[in-house]
Structure 1
């Protein structure tokens, strides 16, 4: 063995060669994609096995890319801009590959802001200075500039060395001139521009002739060939920029010293557990025999994922039970509250953190002093790394309302900053999976303390993907449904009504039982639910449409949107004054004062005093005076009904919006932080509350005024980007309606085209009423509208409305075929699907009530369209932050309102940001689905939301 030999493995190269070099592979027990993980492990094993004796390395490390944005993107915003996103089934394998490296006992290194190549360059330089011989395992041509007498490369596929002669064969120049040659050649893969028209041979000829790039550019006017001379002189700055992009950095701050790369045998238990969890049985046998450090890993097809058994570690506060393997029987083991531990010292916490790290997966939950994730304080954290094993770490409990330690009369807690310093590396470790229930909340809480939790799974979202529309997805309901266990209700520990208290005042005993149970149950639910994603072929839906949304929404919620409280107060005054005027006019009509908010008094006036026909009584015996009744009366010419409708609208705008929004605004920042619900609808649409910013009326002038109160901060603009008629476009695609597809492709007015098809009226000079009727039919068809509903909407009789619908289906037979297919599917399977595979369960299709069944069939028609639109905007939202960052923009996404996204951008970035936003939204369906009609996106910037819309 060489005394000092360092091997640096290019992790990204290994990953992509493993992924593309092998057929797709999934774990048998749950269908998790593991092909790249398997290939990566086999390549590591092969490298170690074949480099023995004199060739054995003394030090070994795998170098990974930390992210897509590096200092090169700051130099050139188009650097690597054309690279497609990672394959969807490869993304979940990235953290597993880091975990694999760790399991093999090999150090892995990455550094934000720099590429793996820069770290390799830095470590190679450091190693040579310390007397090492260095081998870089990679076939990346960019690393060939590092080759010298002490640094060589090894092609991992061919197994052949790359030294000085091989570099000259590749570039035509020796390693010390590779950067100069690459500056001329450019790189289409990384989008390095280079010099137009100059390839490898010409670049080598020029560099060798003039000795260096600097000399060549200095004497460019001497070049006889006009095209070469022109390229070198006119594109001088571009060439020099290209040199900076391809030159590797040797001065990167090393995350750890080379001494830590010293090669050692892997821990048999850890590697065996990892290979067993991945179900790599054959590799486990080979590794165990060849390296003589492993017990043979045992796994059975169909077993649930396993966490390795860890030793009890609670020496100071008691003995925790050994976590049970996650077998179906163990998952149903009754909860033992006495086994949960309250951790009050840093040593015990550090030991359990190590246990979570060894397990590779653990559940985490936070307890706070209030409900808002964007403003509440952290009270405690619970962790669970195995069935029956859970701890609670109190961090912000207070004793002035009776909070006590588990024993004694003093409240003992680890200082918050010390506990978070121990938790942060675990919560951010890319090789350890964190599991949460509604983890968006926890992400926001931790983010406010400087912790970015990743990677993670969310049991709420897994359940939502599996059974949206079948039941709720809260932890308590899921626990009862899947585990047969009823968790401790929050009110049992915190009280209700006047006796309710913040969690920070809950005694540590009940607090530990409540919080630790949450983590334990969450991990059990993950073991039960995650395998079902593959069994039901829904893993891709979860990975591509749900898994990344909590981070995206957490960032949006934390950013908030600014409001102008003065505008809101003035609107409240205006709405209040108008309510007073309406009230006075209503009193004048009736001839006496009465309470406009009293259904009893209104019913008596309309149906007793005025004796109007059509009145119906409620179950309590009072006359019904709901909105439908008032609208019917107003259509029949009753001015009082119209006044009451206007009064109610003003009251709602004032009470629900202008008054309430002032209260929701943070008094320091004047920003409102709504909370998005990911699993509240059956179709994948988001909803928001506290406050609800998705239901602000926009069809009335008064409603639009409220949007004027949403403003950009100083020096910024709000950008509103909205999909145009996306549901009609998706109907054209899903139903394969050629006329509609052609109309959208040609940019025609879709409602005018429909009217022309239906009523044989030329588009030019078409009466607005004819277009309005076609528009009502177009949108009505999406929602499975009946003749009665259409007739009521257009003010025509049912017979005429029925003829409209009949004509519509005759002109567009594909729509009728689509609707029939949707009805057939929901009747046969109980669900319909979006084009991305999201399953929308509609159980009422089998209800006893005919009305319920009819409603379910109408829902089945609309759900694939609305759900696909929701999927598309989710895909756009997931990609948006990285694309904005890649373009070196500080623009932030603030709100989502169904088909619309709202951003806040510095004035100088507006136009560039709009271009990025539109591009991401238009292409959000790719590469999964190529929509057969263009997805038009309209974007506008202004000082307030109304003007931007």
Structure 2
């Protein structure tokens, strides 16, 4: 502050609860990192936006004469001397937030606002002291906070202002929350305690009971003195037994309003921000948009202002002083050596946080069943106080587009969870079977309350596989945001050899076995839908899900920053949730009549093959029976290469039949043909019409984000990613996917994207040159390998080069290439050796990647996605060879997956900004499918191609150009 002015009558003092602002800012926005070095700065930017907004609003309203932001100095205060366990269960701040505490203090000063903190006292004590001083000077004080602990300060001249709800909190609001006036709040808190701050209180007494007791007896000491008069036995015994604990609790919750403050309130006089100071700070943290906004309103030329140095510290350690931050490990672009990765992990606050989380027991009896709107409002208020909320939905179907919302579970702290039953029905038949059970919040009323908190940008919503919940709630008019997903956090941290389901995560990280679905709903024929589960059982199961999800988030989220994977999560995983949810809900039209005709054609073709197979086998048998087929091929016919399974039967898997077909055994080839057509019929032509949603008349597939180790998406119910591309039958099935009348389907497909990634990663000059010049890459490879001219090249030679090009990046062996090309293994081996001689950089890449996987146990894509191979040193040669091939391919396939993810994430905004109504419907490997009106087809293709081609930028500048082929047509096959 540039001036001093003592308080006098008529002045107005604003005191901002800095800690509350920090955590609201941290959870309100997706994590953001400084581009130059990956330093986490999302909370700083959120804080700056909030403070700037407040300063602007105060100029238009009741102007403050004095203003300060008050911070906690450290996690310790004089209260720890009174009660050492005070706040002992609070988890450490997230790792990516710790370096931002100090930056936020610098931001406050950059705004030319007083930044105040003091050792051994909490921010609330300083606020209490300055508020008292204001009243005594005849001034008024407004405390900017939603913290319930500050409600005890409300009195004439002192008000609380909640910026997020844009409301002033006075005596009526305190009476509504605590049931008493502000001067009695501390008595209520002393009795009820506080699990978040570890204030013990009196067992068995909550806020409502405490309010009744204080209203009846006047104050805490009178109540404790007259406790023997209380009629309820357990309450009377607890008040007598825990009287001293209640007195200690009151000492913990009463704010000290006579702190010997080190900063005089006269130094809080309001002054305007200095452009050079504020813009220099925001430029240093690379807040481009915010800098422009500030410069415009301060009428300053930001280009003429140099960034000012900022000192990055971890905050707050136990001693209370910030400690300088070591060289940043935040950037995800560079792979870390194993030792450095371990050191980075050690930066996570978590040894104490982990212990605290594990120490809080999972007690199902403590979960609350919410049956009234008032109780639901109280849970929402708790979410506003915390700034985050774990969320889970319970439904009667796994299909998010058809499921009915049965209930919602919430959690605001470890062990603090509830279940809100909405549409549970009476079980069994009889007169009342199927009717809604009593004691449930009406669905429409619950939705109205939940909508406020679930759409509020100041509250982070945390879930496990949240995409499903988003779709269910979207159908009820709720657009859930912002979000975090524990499944995807785990996927980023541990992609590879472990699963990411909640039950598995709970066992692995919390050593807790969750209630299984079958334990409450049964299994097999006796299984019931969740709406028939008794509410008490549903509460235990559903509230546990929310509780465990929150614990996992508290445990795993900090590790993203510590391992340098925050950027991967926030750019490749989390943003895709909303994109996929929109795609799945959009769905795609199919032509059921065409599919029925195709099904009949396939049935006829299968019957013809069956007849031929019987002739070749010399007898009729069940072609679909592996045992009968094995007995004929390897038993009666005595064909070579037979191997038995663990059950003693002959193996007739695709590998076994392909081996026989490669040896010219026509029977094996015809069985393979029969299997393929039968699978197409059962999986697609017969099944797809059953997936048509009766309301939308469309097919809605579901995409799994964490199903593969490389980042590729998986499609289920139905799986639309395995329709054959090169067979006539597959093409006919794709033609059944259609656009509505007056519209077109647009297919945009990356051309040879994995080969382009190989050329970039392995730095293969010949391949890079060919791609840059738009050459036929397979013809060029054939020319390099076999010394033949490109002009007039034999198609068979090009086909062999193509097989090698794609096979090499999948670690293909001579055996595999021989089978694929129908040639001898020695010849195939010679092809591979020649390939490596012509392109030695590829062999170097493969060997270096295998060594990296052996040294670190993981490999990474050029975008920082990490894929783990913990068993790559397996003593089993075949397993080891398989994992080495997978490790070679993973960075290539993973980078291709990352590129299309980046394109998908940018696509909705790009189409919207171009004024287009086109919608993205499907993703199939390297292809995106859109639906647009006829008139927009050409423009849509242009926008889509532009976004897809530039998808790697600016994180990675590929040294080869990406190519996207796009076409528009009435059906998918014609557009492909």
TM-score where L is the length of structure 1: 0.70
Superposed displacement of residue 844, structure 1: 2.3
CA contact (8 A) 2:348 2:558 kept: no
Of 406, 415, 418, 2:445 maps to 418
Distance 1:52 1:276 in 2: 35
Q: Partner residue of 1:431? A: 458
Question: Which residue of structure 2 aligns with residue 682 of structure 1?
Answer: 709
Q: State the 1:333 CA deviation.
A: 1.9
**Where do 1:274-293 residues align within 5 Å?**
none
1:636 Cα offset (Å)? 3.2
Counterpart among 646, 650, 666 of residue 677 in structure 2: 650
Question: Residue in 2 aligned with 1:791?
Answer: 818
Cα distance in 2 between the residues matched to 1:649 and 1:392: 47
Q: After alignment, is 817-826 or 36-45 more displaced?
A: 36-45
The yes-or-no answer on 1:598 pairing with 2:625 is yes
Q: 1:355 aligns with which of 377, 382, 389?
A: 382
- 1:529 maps to which residue? 556
Q: Select which of 933, 946, 952 maps to 1:925.
A: 952
Question: Which of 727, 731, 734 in structure 1 is aligned with 2:754?
Answer: 727
- In structure 2, what is the equivalent of residue 823 of structure 1? 850
What is the alpha-carbon distance in structure 1 between the residues aligned to residue 477 and residue 55 of structure 2? Answer: 40
CA distance in structure 2 between the aligned counterparts of 1:595 and 1:157, rounded to whole angstroms:
77
Query: In 2, Cα distance between the equivalents of 1:436 and 1:593?
Result: 55
8 Å contact from structure 2 (residues 395, 406) kept in 1 = yes
Gaps of 5+ in 2: 1-7, 15-20, 68-95, 109-143, 147-159, 167-270, 276-290, 302-313, 323-345
Alignment of 1:248-267 (within 5 A): none
The Cα shift of 1:893 comes to: 0.6
Cα distance in 2 for partners of 1:938, 1:612 equals 46
Decide whether aligned partners of structure 1 residues 615 and 444 sit closer, same or farther in structure 2, where only a CA change above 3 A counts.
same
Aligned length: 725
Name the counterpart of 1:814.
841
Structure 2 residue 890 is the aligned partner of structure 1 residue 863: yes
Task: Work out whether residues 718 and 948 of structure 1, in 8 Å CA contact, stay in contact via their aligned partners in 2.
Answer: yes
The structural deviation recorded for 1:403 is: 13
User: Aligned partners of 1:43 and 1:712: how far apart in 2?
Assistant: 48
Give RMSD over aligned pairs. Answer: 4.3
Verify the 8 A CA contact 1:677 1:688 in the aligned structure 2.
yes
Query: Which residue in 2 is equivalent to 1:834?
Result: 861
2:350 and 2:555 in contact (8 A); partners too: no
Which residue of 907, 912, 917 corresponds with 1:880?
907
Q: CA deviation at 1:102?
A: 6.9
Residue 790 of structure 2 corresponds to which residue in structure 1?
Answer: 763
Cα deviation, residue 39, structure 1 = 4.8
Offset at 1:690? 1.0
Report deviation, 1:505: 0.6
**Offset, 1:918:** 0.7
Q: Match for residue 501 of structure 2?
A: 474
Aligned-partner Cα distance in 2 for 1:278–1:941: 59
What is the CA–CA distance in structure 1 between the aligned matches of 2:764 and 2:749, rounded to whole Å? Answer: 23
Q: Does 1:395 align with 2:422?
A: yes
Give the TM-score, by structure 2 length.
Answer: 0.68
- Cα deviation for residue 831 of structure 1 reads 0.5
Equivalent pair of 1:564/1:710 in contact (CA under 8 Å): yes
Paired with 2:35 and 2:53, the residues of 1 have a C-alpha distance of 18
Against the structure 1 CA distance between its residues 616 and 160, is the aligned structure 2 distance closer, same or farther, given a 3 Å change threshold? closer
Structure 1 SS opposite 2:747: strand
| Deviation for aligned residue 1:602 | 2.6
Are 1:515 and 2:542 counterparts? yes
- Confirm or deny: 8 A CA contact 2:661 2:669 kept in the other structure: yes
Structure 1 residue 626, shift from structure 2 partner: 2.8
Instruction: Please report how far the alpha carbon of residue 765 of structure 1 lies from its aligned counterpart in structure 2 after TM superposition.
Output: 1.1
- Cα–Cα, structure 1 residues 32 and 495, in superposed 2: closer, same or farther, change >3 Å? farther
8 Å contact 2:11–2:64 — kept in the other structure? no
Tell me the equivalent position of 1:36.
45
Q: CA deviation at 1:755?
A: 1.0
Partner of 1:778: 805
2:391 to 336, 352, 364: 364
Change (3 A) 1:641 1:690: same
Hey, what does 1:843 align to over in structure 2? 870
User: Which residue is 1:564 aligned to?
Assistant: 591
Aligned-pair distance for 1:387?
1.2
Aligned counterparts of 1:560 and 1:680: Cα–Cα separation in 2:
21
Q: Secondary structure at the match of 1:453?
A: coil
SS at match of 1:777: helix
Q: Distance in 1 between matches of 2:935 and 2:732?
A: 27
Q: State the shift of 1:798 in Å.
A: 2.7
Q: CA deviation at 1:855?
A: 0.9
Q: Secondary structure at the match of 2:686?
A: helix
> 1:69-108 CA distances to partner (integer Å, 9 max, x unpaired)?
xxxxxxxxxxxxxxxxxxxx99x99xx99xx997795747
Instruction: After superposition, give the CA deviation of every residue in 1:14-65 in whole Å (9 maximum; x if it has no partner).
Output: 99xxx999998999xxx6744424555776899899999987499xxxxxxx
Relative distance call for 1:102 and 1:279 in structure 2 (3 A) is: farther
Give the 3 Å change call, closer, same or farther, for CA 560–589 of structure 1 in structure 2: same
Deviations 1:414-446 (A, max 9, x none): 111111111111101111111000001111111
Secondary structure in 2 aligned to 1:547?
helix
Q: Give CA-to-partner distance per residue, 1:181-234, whole Å, 9 cap, x none.
A: xxxxxxxxxxxxxxxxxxxxxxxxxxxxxxxxxxxxxxxxxxxxxxxxxxxxxx
The question of whether the paired residues in 2 share the 8 Å contact of 1:822 and 1:832 is answered with yes
- What is the CA–CA distance in structure 2 between the aligned matches of 1:573 and 1:138, rounded to whole Å? 78
| 1:383 correspondence with 2:414 | no
Q: Is the 8 A contact 2:413 2:547 kept in 1?
A: yes
Structure 1 residue 498: Cα displacement: 1.5
Alpha-carbon separation, structure 2, partners of 1:669 and 1:22:
43
For residues 9 and 775 of structure 2, the distance between their equivalents in structure 1, rounded to whole angstroms, comes to 73
| Equivalent residue runs for 1:491-640 within 5 Å | 491-640=518-667
Q: Distance in 1 between matches of 2:693 and 2:366?
A: 42
Equivalents in 2 of 1:817, 1:896: separation in Å? 33
What is aligned with 2:943?
A: 916
Query: Structure 1 residues 715, 45: CA separation in 2 closer, same or farther (over 3 Å shift)?
Result: closer
Q: Residues of 2 paired with 1:925 and 1:489: CA distance?
A: 42
| 8 Å contact from structure 2 (residues 348, 559) kept in 1 | no
Tell me by how many angstroms 1:351 deviates.
1.1
